[in-house]
Structure 1
Amino acid sequence: MRVSIRICLAAMLPASSWWSGSMVEAKSVFAHYMLSTIDPNTDHAKQDIDQAIAVGLDAFAVNVGQPGQDFSKNTMQQLVDYARDKPFKLFLSFDFYATNDLAAHQAFFDLWKDEPAYLTYGPDNLPVVSTFSGGDLGPDVWRSFKETNNVYLLPNMEADADYYSNPTAFFQKWGDAIDGVFSWETAWPYESDVPVNVTSERDAAVKEAADGAGKAYMMGLSPLQYKDCCGSSWYRSGEVNLPERMTQILSLAPELTEVITWNDAGESHYIGQCWPEGLTEEILRYGNSETYPHSGWQPLITSFIAAFKAGEDASQMKPSGDAPIGALWYRGVMAPCDTSLPGSGAAVNSVNYAVVLPAGVTGASIQVSSGGQVLSKVPAHEGLNYNAVGGMVTGAQKLEVLDESGAVIAAADSKVDVADGPQDGFCNFNYYVAGLQRAPVICQSGRWLRAQPCTVDRANNVERTKSDPLSKSESYFAFALNRVVKYKTIPLAGVRSMTSHNRSALLMQPDMETVKEPSDDTTESKDPQGSEEAECRQATDSGLDGGFAAWAVVFGAWCCLFCAFGWVNASGIFQDYYQTHQLRDYSPSSISWILSLEPSVLFAAGLAVGKVFDNYGPRWLLITGTFLHVFGLMMTSISSEYYQFVLAQGICSPLGASFVFYAGLSCTATWFQERRALAFGIVASGSSLGGIVFPILLARLLPTVGFGWSLRISGFVVLALLIVANLMVRSRIKPVPRPFSFNDYTDPFLEPTFVLLMLSVTCGFFAMFIPINYIVLEAVKNGIDTDLSGYLLAILNAGSLPGRILPGYYGDKLGRFNVMISMCAFSALILLVMWLPGTLAAPRSAAVYVITSLLYGFASGAFVGMVPALLGQISPDITKIGVRQGVLFTCISVATLTGSPIAGAILSQQHGTFWGLQVFAGVMMVACVVFLILARITLVGFRLRVKV
């Protein structure tokens, strides 16, 4: 029985170089091709070459695993005969895993090296030889082979211990034995049982050493790697490995690229047809390109090749016409399914996509649905867009590209429903790939050719006609459109004569049929303006980003934050009150521990609360949180001892506040995507208004009704608002109970962007509460009128009210990371340039305190609203948003717990002068900005004019 062998696809040269012979130029793309799976008695090899030419590939790296077999010779003969008169080349890749015999490979090479279709390369126009493995043969063996056969040697040398660990030493050792190297393993992430993303760090190191040694470097481009046959099984992580790898290759710009692979069904990383004659039944149960096609990736690779040859980056990738291109892909079974499969723990239940939009497009968005439920809707930009959208459920999956009006421009629909368990006793981890298709009836309007049905003149019984089916080899080719007249049939003329370099704007799938409009007598509403815009519009009621239910949740969550974070924001008023009343025998630092416990418990409880939310939803969290928060305030009202304040105000009340805080934020995240930052800003404004109302309320009540009733009245206000929250707040996504997994809490720390965001906001929260807790105390000590000092917290929180909303609004438009960096930098500026020198000046001016409070409130206001929005933006699985928020805010709780006590200790050490704690706060905010910039760099590099 023939065994499936690895094949590689490599990026090719400009078409103009083909006619100068068989030599190719730099910036070429090759393709590893499985020779042993092709029956030479068929024309399948010829079909593969035609399809590869259509994709834009320039050559197959023909993987030879059994060079002595007749079928290998016969199939290779068919390939070279057919490629002889085509703009396409071939070269051999010796597979040393299948046949570890250099002499046998050399004999096979001798049969084809002089063929006109054989690829030559390099300054001396030598025939190319590549390998799969072979580095263990050593430099002397390969030097002899190279000199004897006069070849351009581009082997895979990863078996050499120095290849990745010390690439400079590797090239010094191999010297003139090779002309370049090909890295196979870097095409995927490290083997892991947790989700990890592919990186290009090892590629960069080897490429730098290769460049220094004057050698060529070839990177690998591949989707996934999954095998479950032939005595070995594994799954390599990386749900969006293909577009991530495209981005990395375009950034590093190596001399050569190889796509892995064209037709390796055994390892699932095929982009072409896997012909069944060479495959075992064991492979066909999962590596079947008829049931699990991957050809939907081909338009993306065509766009990548064009960008690679032009020296462009991923943001400059473009379709050949005016229509978007792309693909949807997903696993047909919910993970983990088969826990015995090595690496199965790395599988994520996500719906994955990559979409390339034309240059100049604005206002577009990408929407992903699973099981009939919208999971994600995000703004799209020109160039390459991609994501792994978590929360996939059983059933059908869908990808849609929408224009600025919400009309569908293009879509990809699944034909394989996701199952919740093994099918016929087998868990298939291969991807189903659906290419992005344009709807067949097009109305020209504005920037786009819209893919919406036009209004039909029912009186004339006009049919809406779809195009005739295209062959599989033409499935993603463009065809011409010809709009006749308004309210008339819109014929679509397929242009099959177009070359791969002259494609039109429309992508079609091969199984489109003719559809008639219903002939019933129902009345159809008509646009009174008769506009073409109205003809082409299709409502998209996704439930995201608007509607009564969504905004009701926003109002309920606003109530949650008014009572939770709003109360914490007002806690600074107790620093001065306790020092002159119940706790006057305790130091400022000791009192600060009570006030620091409030935000710390609020945040730290998220580690458990987030998991409860993900598993069971918000209902019990809201009910329990309402009771605990109100009960804690009532118990504080009768407290007199330090430990009582710690238990009631420092633990019980903020624990309840934590429950309602996370329930409100997490539910909001499920209802908004494109307008998420604005929604969070509105919700977070509740904390600002709470921070205004509670200090004023307490300032009025404490002198008149006393401490006890001041706390009780505050508790009744909290109770009333949280009853409203209990009625309003609900999650759009049905909770999915999952068993406890430690990986849920550790996986975020494997994401560099998450880690940097965590470090950033932790530094920010070290600083954030210091002005809140100490500006009133400092004003009083410096002789500012007591009545005015009591209102400084209210002024600060009044400033934070627009600071919650406006950054969210502009964050959705200009980029959330961009706006957050600006706001944090502004906060640092206020702390170091206004608060610090202003309060050192003599005499102290009340205006300094008022202006500092107002501006700092505005600048720092972005924290509560923007941090959850940033987290949602970088989170691959919205169904785990509760846990991820819990992990992030638990890390933050360390800062909120210790920040104010550290400031209090500095204050005591400096005998009541405040400049030391002000410097500490300012430096922490500067560190926040630095880490936030680094997080942005992990997303878009050093590009400044990018919305992120």
Structure 2
Amino acid sequence: MTEMKAKTPVESQDDRGEPSGNIADSERPQLKHGKWRYVMVVAAGFLVMFTTCALIFTFGVWQSLYEEMAAQPNTPFTGTSTALINLIGTLAIALMSMGGPFTMVWAKLYSPQAVIIVGGWVFGIAFILASFSKQLWHFTLTQGMLLGIGTCMAYVPTMAVAPTWFDKRRGLAMGVIISGTGVGGMVWPPVLSAIIDSIGFRDALRIAGCVSVTLVSLAGYSLGWEPDFQNQVRVQTQGMSRANGYIKIPLINWRVARTKRFVAQASGCFLRSAGYSTPLFFYAAYARALGYSNTTATNFITVSNASNFVSRIIVGYGADKYGRINALAFTTLLSTIAVFAFWLPSMFKESTIAGSSADGLFITFTILYGAFASAYISLFPASLIELFGAQNYTSVNGSLYLIRGIGALIGTPLTGLLIPESKALVSSIIYERAGITVGVLLFAATVACFIVRIEAMMGSPWRWKM
């Protein structure tokens, strides 16, 4: 595919195909489309995150419920292992990224609005079909695979469209949009738990599906390409047939793909995704192992997402001020510290530390991990234009989403196998190997982030803000 040089240059490239500098943020007009157009983009993106991603990342509610049902007779999960239940959520999270290259092509060929709205319908129908499921594999296909595909179709175009509208305040805008996941993560767990306790988990699935279809369909209408970027998209898709172009994956420019910064960025994406989701899925189950009731355990998901909501806006603002690549590296480092300094020590409640200390450590971990671990979801797309140039943005974005999905698909279920299902709700120490694995993966991701930071600086004068 022919690459086009950006009409609104963000970075130029040197003779090695690497970005070599930024145009001053102030040189690009920020309000040329009117203030309310920008507000609509942010509000619509927020709404998509509030439904699709928030519901996927609150799978811990279902994980805990399904594990409880696994110990009961005559349920769809009777005798099912923790790892197989965990696979439902893992498939959803993996596919929401792995389909990125295809979804980017569809968004360019048929418009982001169409893809997002169809994705909302697929997402909602997946929940409704799951409510009629009778066996584990039914849930794996519906609440896992189909839900992940629907999320991908709504989430990836949203995250691709939004950065094209902003420059100087891109980090803040993306932080507000992604904070929808945190707000949804505060709202959905107690709501779902109340519905489950009142009318059952099947009706909870149906209600979640109907609400999702409505909200994502409404939001999708406002999420089109920024007009200047739309012109680039038209050039990039010249010669592509709308009849069969949907099966073509945009190939990344080889000169970009073989640079050290792309290899480091791809490695960081893979490693973060491999480690990131495990604590999210097991918040409620781990809290049960510490002795909390089912209702209180679910509240840990809410606490994490409340921290997530506040931090994403603050981190987004700080990223614009101090550099998006810097923010990506330091938030990954802080999430690594949270695992080793707080989650792992809390697991020794039964041996070396008091119960109150273990509770305090886990509460602190929940807040810190919620605040920093998920920051890369908003900082990752916000930093790509700076790293690889606007002309490479869509192909790089799709490729890295695929890599992220592969990381989640491999890392999360393998880590889940380290947690014996027979003691998942009663013993905290059995999470030790999984916790160490998560910490190591995030530490390796931190190293990759700092390598990206160093590579982004090569060939240019020293700059702190990157």
Q: 2: CA distance between counterparts of 1:802 and 1:866?
A: 15
Q: Which residue of 2 aligns with 1:946?
A: 464
Matches within 5 A, 1:507-526: none
Select which of 774, 787, 795 maps to 2:303. Answer: 795
In the alignment, which of 438, 441, 447 is matched to residue 930 of structure 1?
447
CA-CA distance at 1:762 after TM superposition: 1.5
Pairing 1:425-436 to 2, within 5 Å after superposition: none
CA shift in 2, pair 1:401/1:869, >3 Å: closer
User: Distance in 2 between the 1:915 and 1:808 partners?
Assistant: 33
Render the CA deviation track for 1:482-516: whole Å, top value 9, x for unaligned: xxxxxxxxxxxxxxxxxxxxxxxxxxxxxxxxxxx
Amino acid at match of 1:884: V
User: What is the DSSP-based 3-state SS (H/G/I as helix, E as strand, rest coil) of the residue aligned with 1:674?
Assistant: coil
Confirm whether residue 895 of structure 1 aligns to residue 413 of structure 2.
no
Structure 2 CA distance for partners of 1:641 and 1:403, relative to 1, 3 Å: closer
Amino acid at match of 1:872: I
TM-score by length of 2: 0.85
Summarize deviations over 1:719-767 as a string: whole Å, max 9, x none.
Answer: 2321321232111132422436767246352232122111112111212
Q: Tell me the CA shift for residue 594 of structure 1.
A: 0.9
Distance 1:928 1:726, change over 3 A: same
Corresponding residue number in structure 2 for 1:520: none
User: Partners in 1 of 2:462 and 2:299 — Cα distance?
Assistant: 40
Q: 3-state DSSP class of the match of 1:744?
A: coil
- Counterpart position of 2:289: 781
Aligned to 1:597, what secondary structure does the other structure show?
helix
Of the three residues 91, 101, 114, the one matched with 1:620 is 114
Kindly indicate whether residue 341 of structure 2 is the aligned counterpart of residue 833 of structure 1.
yes
1:496-507 pair list within 5 angstroms: none
* Inter-partner Cα distance in structure 2 for 1:943 and 1:790: 49
Aligned to 1:543: 32
- Aligned partners of 2:421, 2:92: CA distance in 1, in Å? 24
2:322 to 805, 808, 814: 814
**Cα shift readout 1:849-890 (whole Å, capped 9, x = no counterpart):** 322211110011312111111223223234x53432221011
3-state SS of the aligned residue for 2:168? coil
Q: CA deviation at 1:639?
A: 1.0
CA contact (8 A) 1:609 1:882 kept: no
Question: Per-residue displacement from partner, 1:514-566 (whole Å, max 9, x unpaired)?
Answer: xxxxxxxxxxxxxxxxxxxxxxxxxx56637x722122111111111112211
C-alpha distance 815-641 of structure 1, shift in aligned 2 (>3 A): same
What one-letter code is carried by the residue in structure 1 that aligns with 2:147?
A: S
Judged with a 3 Å threshold, the aligned counterparts in structure 2 of structure 1 residues 403 and 765 are, in CA distance, closer, same or farther, namely: closer
Letter in 1 for 2:355: R
Instruction: Tell me the SS of whatever aligns to 1:914.
Output: helix
Could you say what secondary structure the match of 1:897 adopts? helix
The whole-number CA distance in structure 1 between the counterparts of 2:405 and 2:143 is 16
In structure 1, the residue matched to 2:150 is 656
8 Å CA contact retained: 1:614, 1:881: no
Which residue number corresponds to residue 668 of structure 1? 162
Which residue matches 1:572? 60
Name the structure 2 match of 1:908: 420
Alpha-carbon distance change, 751 to 611 in structure 1, aligned in 2, over 3 angstroms: farther
Q: Deviations over 1:553-608 (max 9, x none)?
A: 11111111112211111111111111122313111011111110011111111120
Note if 1:885 corresponds to 2:397: yes
Per-residue deviation at 1:709? 0.9
- Provide the secondary structure at the position in 2 that maps to 1:387: strand
Match of 1:760 in 2: 268
Partners of 1:614 and 1:875 in 2: CA distance: 19
Kept after mapping to 2: 8 A contact 1:792/1:849 = no
Match of 1:824 among 310, 315, 332: 332
In structure 2, the residue matched to 1:860 is: 373
Give the C-alpha shift of residue 919 in structure 1.
0.5
The 2-side partners of 1:943 and 1:819 are apart by 20
Question: What amino acid is aligned across from residue 371 of structure 2 in structure 1?
Answer: F
Q: Distance in 1 between matches of 2:364 and 2:103?
A: 38
Indicate the residue corresponding to 1:635 in structure 2.
Answer: 129
Alpha-carbon distance between aligned partners in 2 of 1:844 and 1:584, rounded to the nearest angstrom: 31
Whether the aligned pair in 2 keeps the contact of 1:600 and 1:896 (CA below 8 Å) is yes
User: What's the offset of the Cα at 1:910?
Assistant: 11
1:608 to 95, 102, 127: 102
Instruction: Describe the SS at the equivalent of 1:665.
Output: helix
Match for residue 873 of structure 1 among 365, 380, 386: 386
For structure 1, the residue ranges without an aligned partner over 5 or more in a row are 1-334, 337-347, 352-369, 379-385, 390-399, 409-539
Tell me what 1:37 maps to.
none
Match of 1:903, SS?
helix
| 8 A contact 2:127–2:147 mirrored in 1 | yes
Amino acid at match of 2:153: F
Q: Which runs of 5+ in 2 are unaligned?
A: 15-21, 70-75, 425-429
- Say if 1:567 and 1:694, in contact at 8 Å, map to a contact too: yes
Question: For residues 271-306 of structure 1, what are the alpha-carbon distances to aligned partners after superposition, in whole Å with 9 as ceiling and x for unaligned?
Answer: xxxxxxxxxxxxxxxxxxxxxxxxxxxxxxxxxxxx
Question: Structure 1 residues 401 and 835, CA, compared in 2 at 3 Å: closer, same or farther?
Answer: closer
Of 436, 439, 457, the residue aligned with 1:919 is 436
Distance 1:764 1:556, change over 3 A: same
Rate the CA distance shift 1:639–1:812 in 2: closer, same or farther, 3 A: same
Range moving further from structure 2, 686-695 or 716-725: 716-725
SS at match of 1:551: helix
Whether 2:257 is the aligned partner of 1:749: answer yes
- Contact residue 543 and residue 550 of structure 1 kept, 8 A: no
Contact 2:83 2:421 in 1 (8 A): no
AA at the equivalent of 2:363 = V
Q: Distance in 1 between matches of 2:250 and 2:402?
A: 16
- Aligned residue among 688, 713, 721 for 2:182: 688
**Structure 1's 611 and 907: CA in aligned 2 closer, same or farther, altered over 3 A?**
same
* Kept in 2: contact 1:766–1:896 (CA 8 A): yes
Relative CO higher for 1 or 2, CA cutoff 8 Å, sep ≥ 6?
2
Asked if structure 1 preserves the Cα contact closer than 8 Å seen for 2:92 and 2:145, the reply is yes
The yes-or-no answer on 1:702 pairing with 2:209 is no
- Trace 1:330-409 onto structure 2 (pairs within 5 A): 348-350=3-5, 370=7, 375-376=8-9, 387-388=12-13
Partners of 1:909 and 1:577 in 2: how far apart?
Answer: 13
In the superposition, relative to structure 1, how do residues 710 and 651 fare at CA in structure 2: closer, same or farther (>3 Å)?
same
Distance 1:685 1:541 in 2: 22
- Structure 1 residue ranges (4+ consecutive) displaced by more than 6 angstroms after TM superposition: 400-403, 740-743
Q: 1:894: how far off? A: 1.5
- Which residue number corresponds to residue 140 of structure 2? 646
Shift in Å at residue 844 of structure 1? 3.0
Task: Please tell me the root mean square deviation across aligned C-alpha atoms, in Å.
Answer: 2.6
Work out the CA distance in 2 between the residues paired with 1:753 and 1:634: 43
Superposed displacement of residue 684, structure 1: 0.5
Kindly tell me the number of residue pairs found equivalent between the two proteins. 428
The structure whose Rg is larger is 1
Q: Shift in Å at residue 839 of structure 1?
A: 2.4
1:722 matched to 2:233? The reply is: no
Question: Does residue 555 of the first structure (1) align with residue 67 of the second (2)?
Answer: no
Letter in 2 for 1:643: W
The amino acid of 1:577's aligned partner reads: L
Q: Mark the CA change 1:922 to 1:403 in structure 2 (over 3 Å): closer, same or farther.
A: closer
SS of alignment partner, residue 728 of structure 1: coil
Q: In structure 1, how many angstroms separate the alpha carbons of the residues matched to 2:444 and 2:465?
A: 23
Amino acid at match of 2:87: W
Give the helix-richer structure, 1 or 2. Answer: 2
Q: What are the Cα deviations for residues 681-735 of structure 1, in whole angstroms up to 9, with x where unaligned?
A: 1111011112221111111111111011111111222123213212321111324
